[in-house]
Structure 1
Amino acid sequence: MTDTAHKPLLATVLGQQQERPPIWIMRQAGRYLPEYRETRARSKGFLDLCYSPDLAVEVSLQPLRRFALDAAIMFSDILVIPDALGQSVRFEVGEGPVLEPITPEGLGKLRPERVLDHLAPVLETLRRLRAALPPEKTLIGFCGSPWTVATYMIGGRGSTDQAAARLFALQHPQAFDKLIDILVQVSIDYLVAQFAAGADVVQLFESWALNLDEVAFAHQVIGPNKRIIEGVRARVPHAPIIGFPRGAAGNIAAYVAATGVNAVGLDYATPLGFARNSLPHTVAVQGNLDPLRLVAGGAQMEDRARQIIAAFADRPHIFNLGHGIVPQTPIEHVARLVDLVKNG
């Protein structure tokens, strides 16, 4: 971790309000950029791109060459963790990630001891990014939170309701808790290594926090994220951490209070007034423009962006989307949004 004096986004995560909100965009290195698509075509596959420091550094820096963003986020994926554990993971064009679904009996085949060695190329990407970035740019590392990663490991792919993982947790609670324990520990080790490699801040992507009742949310989302944050800070004191519990809805205040995140990402369905009134002013908020408003662009996008900025004008706020940027997003709309946030 580094000094916050010239890093407005890192300072915001740590609770220091800025004159204007710093901005980065989830999935800012991605398919909406033609240079990303060209680089992606040079790799053998998506995971190969994640594990090639030369290419991963290049795509991480591409959006910063186009836009005056305040941070770079390392190019990787949340599913490098199950891949590193030894589970079969592949990415199919037009289908997304496909995993060999794990069973209670299959947990013994996972190899936590090999995770950091397997992820050495990702850590090398971080080291190179640290050296390449201007001093005012924050470097963001990340991993998937245990529940979200577990939904893929159990279900074998993404789903709209995470039914396979929800049933697994109910029908095989001991096996489920064992899987979460493994994911908590390897995530701690991975994030600590990311800080050592040069990350200023890390984000926990709890992308599938929706579809859980409050009891399951407490057990499967709040508990594991809290353990990760405590584990990281035991080894990296005061580590700056953003939590993004997408779909947390009415559970978001409990998530913030229990986990100890410095900043919380708001999905685009979170009402501004609810977030403003429910969350303590000591916690930075991040978000939360609907990615499709960015696709459509124009006056509606600008009006909504100004509403978001005004809603959080009295507290530390990082401007972002409320989920990842989508491939069909026009580049000129991104340029206009960044200019609006930075210059009004």
Structure 2
Amino acid sequence: MPGPLLDTLKGKRSKRVPLWLMRQAGRYLPEYRELRAAKGGFLDLVYDSEAACEVTLQPIRRFGFDGAILFSDILIVPHAMGQDLQFLAGEGPHLSPRLADNALEGLTLAKQHFDPVYETVRLCRAALGPETTMLGFAGSPWTVATYMIAGEGSRDQQAARSMAYSDPGKLQAIVDAIVELTVEYLIGQIDAGAEAVQLFDSWAGSLAPDQFETWVIAPNARIVEALKAARPETPVIGFPKGAGAKLRAYADETRVDAMALDETIDPVWADSVLPGGMPVQGNLDPLLILAGGDQLTRRAEFILHSLSDRPHVFNLGHGIDRHTPIAHVEKLVATVRGWQG
């Protein structure tokens, strides 16, 4: 029997709202920090399947979340496309050669980087009980492209946004290549045991409306179409962070199975504009779980009430902050588990 999270993503409502948190496997957990110190670099940990599975399972053991999200990174796809990937202490990820001034054709595919990720999924699915849904993920093409073009993260994604205007043909070729490999990568995760997958478009909000249609909606729609043709039973969660008023267009045109809302979206408004019965995920502000207190409980209950007429997966509006106290997570779990809708 599928767990409550998978049931919800497939459109079923229940009084028990399923719960998981973006970035739930990671730096806020002392057991993660201990393992990371023993294993060394972040990428070494991601590509060590047994260690990555252990990280994936740590928050399930501690909090009993309904979903286990694969411990990995959205930049595995550009690594497999042939860019060199490094995570430098205090600096974040670096990709080279950066495509702002190098050709995509100069890269050599390195799809062997997918293999340890697939093995992580296999190990985790085998270790999880049937009540816990195994979640895979990938970065959406626009967000992945911003890193590939700039060679690193940036506040405003200027390099990719400039290319969209000055050389849209080059950007389209990059996005097309990301789409193709992302479909293969997600099918591989599904075949290894992922029961649902999420598309993370963390930088979708940096685009003007017409650009959003071109670089966010269109590529994600192609990925969803391909996944539905190949693995139609697997729900796809779309997360276009910063979509704002384009939320309904994203839902309609990409045909994702569920929508993840960032913390800037009013859940009452989202409930009023999204298709009836569409599962929704979210959307507590990560800084609120960091702050804690009574306001955490009040906001969590407000979100639960606001989305109570449709299938709802409780989550954050983005990833959990590394400094979040364990006690605050425990309080949130108790609030969601104890809510009587």
Per the shorter chain, which TM-score range? over 0.9
Indicate the residue corresponding to 1:153 in structure 2: 148
Q: CA deviation at 1:238?
A: 3.5
Indicate the residue corresponding to 1:208 in structure 2: 203
Q: CA deviation at 1:19?
A: 1.1
Which one-letter code corresponds to 1:111 in the other structure?
T
- Aligned counterparts of 1:68 and 1:45: Cα–Cα separation in 2: 28
**2:285 is the alignment partner of 1:295:** no
Q: 1:56 aligns with which of 25, 42, 52?
A: 52
Q: Deviations over 1:156-213 (max 9, x none)?
A: 2111211111001211111111101100000000011111000000000011011211
Residue 21 to residue 106, structure 1, CA distance change in 2 (3 Å): same
- Aligned counterparts of 2:220 and 2:75: Cα–Cα separation in 1: 17
Unaligned runs of 5+ in 1: none
Q: 1:271 aligns with which of 249, 266, 270?
A: 266
- Aligned counterparts of 1:246 and 1:288: Cα–Cα separation in 2: 11
1:19-98 equivalent positions in 2, closer than 5 A: 19-98=15-94
Which one-letter code corresponds to 1:62 in the other structure?
Q
Unaligned runs of 5+ in 2: none
**2:107 is the alignment partner of 1:110:** yes
Q: CA deviation at 1:6?
A: 3.7
Q: CA deviation at 1:118?
A: 2.1
Q: Name the SS of the counterpart of 2:316 in structure 1.
A: coil
Q: CA deviation at 1:20?
A: 2.2
Indicate the residue corresponding to 1:182 in structure 2: 177
Please tell me whether the aligned partners of residues 100 and 150 of structure 2 are also in contact (alpha carbons under 8 angstroms).
no
Alignment length (residue pairs): 338
Q: CA deviation at 1:54?
A: 1.1
- Aligned counterparts of 1:35 and 1:213: Cα–Cα separation in 2: 42
Indicate the residue corresponding to 2:277 in structure 1: 282
Q: 1:123 aligns with which of 118, 123, 132?
A: 118
- Aligned counterparts of 1:118 and 1:38: Cα–Cα separation in 2: 25
- Aligned counterparts of 1:342 and 1:83: Cα–Cα separation in 2: 39
Q: Deviations over 1:112-167 (max 9, x none)?
A: 4x32x221000000000010001100000000000000000111211121111100
Identity %, equivalent residues = 51
Which one-letter code corresponds to 2:247 in the other structure?
I
Q: CA deviation at 1:282?
A: 2.4
- Aligned counterparts of 2:200 and 2:235: Cα–Cα separation in 1: 14
- Aligned counterparts of 1:105 and 1:330: Cα–Cα separation in 2: 43
Q: Name the SS of the counterpart of 1:72 in structure 2.
A: strand
Indicate the residue corresponding to 1:135 in structure 2: 130
Q: Name the SS of the counterpart of 1:119 in structure 2.
A: helix
Please tell me whether the aligned partners of residues 43 and 86 of structure 2 are also in contact (alpha carbons under 8 angstroms).
yes
Indicate the residue corresponding to 1:167 in structure 2: 162
- Aligned counterparts of 2:38 and 2:158: Cα–Cα separation in 1: 36
Which deviates further from its counterpart, 218-227 or 275-284?
Answer: 275-284
Residue 158 to residue 136, structure 1, CA distance change in 2 (3 Å): same
Q: Name the SS of the counterpart of 2:217 in structure 1.
A: helix
Which deviates further from its counterpart, 270-279 or 123-132?
Answer: 270-279
Which deviates further from its counterpart, 38-47 or 140-149?
Answer: 38-47
- Aligned counterparts of 1:262 and 1:334: Cα–Cα separation in 2: 27
Which one-letter code corresponds to 2:257 in the other structure?
N
Which one-letter code corresponds to 1:256 in the other structure?
A
Q: CA deviation at 1:86?
A: 1.3
Please tell me whether the aligned partners of residues 104 and 175 of structure 1 are also in contact (alpha carbons under 8 angstroms).
no
- Aligned counterparts of 2:202 and 2:287: Cα–Cα separation in 1: 18
Normalised TM-score (structure 1): 0.96
Please tell me whether the aligned partners of residues 104 and 172 of structure 1 are also in contact (alpha carbons under 8 angstroms).
no
Please tell me whether the aligned partners of residues 19 and 313 of structure 2 are also in contact (alpha carbons under 8 angstroms).
yes
Which one-letter code corresponds to 2:319 in the other structure?
G
Q: Deviations over 1:244-282 (max 9, x none)?
A: 000000101000000111111000000122101110122
- Aligned counterparts of 2:107 and 2:334: Cα–Cα separation in 1: 46
- Aligned counterparts of 2:102 and 2:267: Cα–Cα separation in 1: 45
Q: Name the SS of the counterpart of 1:160 in structure 2.
A: coil
- Aligned counterparts of 2:257 and 2:32: Cα–Cα separation in 1: 31
Q: Which 4+ stretches in 1 moved above 4 angstroms? A: none
- Aligned counterparts of 1:33 and 1:110: Cα–Cα separation in 2: 37
